[in-house]
């Protein structure tokens, strides 16, 4: 089995040789992700008195998966564990994070009046697209982690393919939620006056922030330093989870 560090251009463990400023930036991003996931874990068990339902389990699983991914990225970046382990672990954790975040968005549609046919379409759309988006990159990353360098050339493209497709799905569901929420809550907001308008403005701002953060993630992955991509993904997912709580408490 070939050693991954032999080729600094293709080895993911060569990231620890990057300039110190980039290393400090990665540590900062991972620290933010770790703090957010720890704080959110406390919020989840404090906020949910009855620990059941799709939203609770989705946000709990997503939060734990982001925390696990943050640890794996830290070990991988500083070469503290063999890539055969960290690569396979990341291949398993990242799809869980992406699907769980979609289920969080899907469960929020239940908080407002949404046609059953539309909900079923979105649910099955999440399942079908997840199979097509996550299976090829997962197989490719596991093969690369196992030492088969035939998978090395496609690794960057596979990661971009999976994340870009997931961002497109998130933006679509978040946009649908925002549209239906504004449409249905408008009569109530008009009755409450200024207080109602503040709630609606808050809901719009956090929803737009989620959309912009998703788009910025794709930009960083495609145009930013390759060594920073994984740490930024962990940070952005942790921030989006916190925003989900803000949206939930605004409803």
**Would residue 13 count as lying in a domain?**
no
**Would residue 198 count as lying in a domain?**
yes
**Would residue 8 count as lying in a domain?**
no
Per-residue pLDDT of the chain (251 residues; tens, 9 = 90+): 444 444 444 444 444 444 578 788 888 989 999 999 998 888 888 888 777 788 888 888 889 999 999 999 898 888 888 888 888 888 888 888 888 888 888 887 776 767 778 888 888 988 998 888 888 888 888 888 877 777 777 776 777 788 788 888 888 888 888 787 777 777 766 666 666 667 677 777 777 777 788 777 777 777 766 677 788 888 888 888 888 776 666 55
Under 8 Å between Cβ of 204 and 40: no
**Would residue 127 count as lying in a domain?**
yes
CATH code of 104's domain: 1.20.1070.10
**Would residue 190 count as lying in a domain?**
yes
What range defines the domain where residue 127 resides?
Answer: 18-250
- The full 3-state SS of the chain, as one line of letters, equals CCCHHHCCCCCHHHHHHCCHHHHHHHHHHHHHHHHHHHHHHHHHHHHCCCCCCHHHHHHHHHHHHHHHHHHHHHHHHCCCCCHHHHHHHHHHHHHHHHHHHHHHHHHHHHHCCCCHHHHHHHHHHHHHHHHHHHHHHHHHHHHHHCCCHHHCCCHHHHHHHHHHHHHHHHHHHHHHHHHHHHHHHHHHHHHHCHHHHHHHHHHHHHHHHHHHHHHHHHHHHHHCCHHHHHHHHHHHHHHHHHHHHHHHHHC
**pTM for the predicted model, two decimal places:** 0.78
Under 8 Å between Cβ of 59 and 99: no
**Would residue 158 count as lying in a domain?**
yes
**Would residue 3 count as lying in a domain?**
no
Return the pLDDT at 207. 74
Domain count, the chain: 1
**Would residue 155 count as lying in a domain?**
yes
């Amino acid at each position: 089995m070939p050693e991954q560090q032999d080729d600094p251009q293709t080895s993911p463990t060569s990231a620890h040789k990057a300039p110190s400023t980039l290393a400090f930036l990665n540590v900062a991003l991972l620290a933010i992700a770790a703090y957010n996931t720890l704080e959110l874990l406390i919020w989840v068990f404090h906020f949910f008195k009855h620990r059941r339902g799709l939203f609770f389990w989705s946000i709990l699983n997503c939060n734990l998966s982001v925390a696990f991914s943050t640890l794996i990225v830290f070990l991988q970046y500083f070469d503290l564990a063999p890539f055969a382990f960290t690569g396979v672990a990341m291949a398993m954790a990242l799809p869980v994070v992406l699907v769980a975040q979609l289920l969080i968005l899907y469960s929020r549609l239940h908080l407002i009046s949404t046609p059953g046919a539309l909900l079923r379409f979105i649910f099955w759309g999440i399942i079908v697209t997840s199979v097509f988006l996550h299976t090829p990159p997962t197989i490719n990353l596991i093969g690369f982690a196992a030492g088969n360098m035939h998978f090395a050339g496609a690794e960057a493209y596979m990661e971009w393919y999976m994340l870009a497709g997931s961002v497109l799905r998130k933006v679509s569901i978040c946009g649908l939620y925002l549209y239906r929420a504004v449409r249905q809550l408008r009569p109530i907001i008009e009755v409450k006056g200024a207080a109602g308008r503040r709630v609606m403005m808050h809901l719009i701002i956090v929803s737009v922030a989620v959309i912009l953060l998703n788009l910025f993630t794709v930009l960083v992955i495609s145009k930013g330093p390759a060594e920073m991509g994984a740490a930024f993904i962990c940070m952005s997912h942790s921030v989006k989870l916190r925003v989900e709580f803000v949206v939930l408490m605004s409803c």
